[in-house]
Structure 1
């Protein structure tokens, strides 16, 4: 008698339990992706823990969010990217017209006549010294060079017009900037005093080694602390800049200006070429 009377109550209790199972969070609800199952982490939780707190945040379609891309000069798929741009000095940052006029005076030639002789000497791979010796065998080049060294100390008026804007644009684009060239004592200090915005300034006189020697570019690597493929070296000469920089593993950039740039321009192949320093950032990013 008591069991028969209790049957309806047991049926009501069973129905109430089934209803609770179907409520959100109950045992009867279908689990979504990544939702905990009986206290164990889902797939999404495990993936999140595996990535850790330093994982790059991603937006739609798995693309990195813009905040994670800090350096616009990085190229997709590249293992090493160019992060440094290092400049030569003469013919790149500094117009050497004052020095050429000084030597023209020594040789008692007009600036135009001496400039033409220099073009011919550069094309014949005689260089400045060889050209002067050919023009005036009696001239003591070493003695006059010591006297004319002061003409190689750059002032604001000796800078090419695009120098400050070119360096500023590179820094704004995220590149670091260096200056390193074959120069006599005093040039590095003069360039530092001009406050061009470079991270370092160095010369062959300070390093004790000159281009095109491999040791010069080894010093460039030390000064930047970067791998060769991360450095672009900007120069106006094929023999002193483009070829030895490439041999050292750097990315050569040729600028066609000054006497050397003018003569070597038709022979330069297989490297980035620019007509102005303000073009470099765009060319390296492309």
Structure 2
């Protein structure tokens, strides 16, 4: 029986449209160009920040992030950045007695912004706040610590196989692969993902039936 559900953030809870559009505007390239490059590096199994380095070789991404913040062009999240199924699914799961946690590879600022949206979740936390990121085993150890449930009663939901689904399974959690966003669609039918995921879903609302509450 699943008692806690842990949701990834990017392309699970939030859309990436605004994030990459703002980076394209900052570095001065058409939005489509950066979007296409993100897809290319994803397909090659690289970190998506490599798309920025293809445009500006040697760029210090962290320094550019700070410069954006200082210029008033930093991270922003509002209701339009959430996928449509987020609030209905999370609300239904909590009403069914589930503990709902949102945890992903995001900045400290992103964590603050997400909590400001008052999502129906028991905890919202980011790798920037924890000081450890997926796919490191310590990240999933922290997940289980805050989940307050055994690993086999904790379900991880995300779109990225290498960063989420596979290491979550290695940590003993159940896993649901979400077919959403570049990573979710690209690896939707990958044999390794199919073998690792306990469930494969197209919408977060499917979790209501999966958990059987």
**TM-score normalised to structure 1 length:** 0.67
1:247 aligns to what? 170
> Could you tell me how far 1:138 is from its partner in structure 2?
5.0
Q: Does 1:201 find its partner at 2:124?
A: yes
1:100 aligns to what? 20
Q: How does 1:1-286 map to 2 (within 5 A)?
A: 81-137=1-57, 139-148=59-68, 151-267=74-190, 268-270=193-195, 271=197, 272-285=199-212
RMSD value, Cα: 1.9
Does the C-alpha gap of structure 1 residues 223 and 153 become closer, same or farther in structure 2, counting only changes over 3 Å?
Answer: farther
Choose 1 or 2 for highest CA Rg: 1
Does the C-alpha gap of structure 1 residues 205 and 163 become closer, same or farther in structure 2, counting only changes over 3 Å?
Answer: same
Aligned residue for 1:112, secondary structure, equals helix
> Could you tell me how far 1:184 is from its partner in structure 2?
0.8
Aligned residue for 1:116, secondary structure, equals helix
Report Cα offsets for 1:102-161 as digits up to 9, x if no partner. 222234332222212211110101222223222321534232222446654422121111
CA distance in 1, matches of 2:173, 2:77: 27
> Could you tell me how far 1:273 is from its partner in structure 2?
1.1
Aligned residue for 1:266, secondary structure, equals coil
Query: More deviation in 252-261 or 208-217?
Result: 252-261
Report Cα offsets for 1:225-254 as digits up to 9, x if no partner. 111111001111011110110000001111
Query: More deviation in 238-247 or 191-200?
Result: 191-200
> Could you tell me how far 1:263 is from its partner in structure 2?
2.1
Unaligned ranges ≥5, structure 1: 1-80
> Could you tell me how far 1:221 is from its partner in structure 2?
1.1
> Could you tell me how far 1:170 is from its partner in structure 2?
1.1
Unaligned ranges ≥5, structure 2: none
**TM-score normalised to structure 2 length:** 0.88
Aligned length: 206
1:10 aligns to what? none
Aligned residue for 2:156, secondary structure, equals strand
8 Å CA contact 1:99–1:151 kept in 2: the answer is no
